Chains A and B, each alone.
Chain A
Amino acid sequence: MKVKDVMSAQIVTVSPSDTAQSAARLMLETDVGALPVEVPGVGAIVGIITDRDIVLSVLARGLSTSTTIAEFMTVSPEVCDEQDDTAAVADRMRERGVRRLVVVNADHRVVGIVSLVDLSSDEPEKEKWQ
Chain B
Amino acid sequence: MTIFPIDRLWDEAVVLEGDRQMLRVQSTRDALLCLKNHWPIDRTDAVSAAMSACEQGLQSDEDPTRARQALIDAAKEAGFRVNSWTT
Across the interface, which residues of A come within 8 angstroms of B37, CB to CB?
A: 25, 28-29
Shortest C-beta distance, A10 to chain B (Å), equals: 9
Q: Per a CB cutoff under 8 Å, which of B3, B7, B23 touches A40?
A: B7
Across the interface, which residues of B come within 8 angstroms of A15, CB to CB?
A: 7, 9, 27
1/0 contact string of B7-40 vs chain A (CB within 8 Å): 1010001000000001111110110011011100
A30 to B22, CA, bound (A): 22
- Output the nearest chain B residue to A19 by Cβ-Cβ distance: B24
Secondary structure of the B contact surface, majority rule? mixed
Q: Is the CB of A29 within 8 A of B38?
A: no
Interface size on B, residues (CB 8 A): 19
Given A29-B1, A29-B3, A40-B9, A21 and B24 touching (CB < 8 A)?
Answer: yes
1/0 contact string of A42-72 vs chain B (CB within 8 Å): 0000000000000000000000011000000
Is residue A26 contacting chain B, with contact meaning CB distance below 8 A?
yes
Is residue A1 contacting chain B, with contact meaning CB distance below 8 A?
no
Chain B positions within 8 Å of A, measured between CB atoms, are 1, 3, 5, 7, 9, 13, 22-27, 29-30, 33-34, 36-38
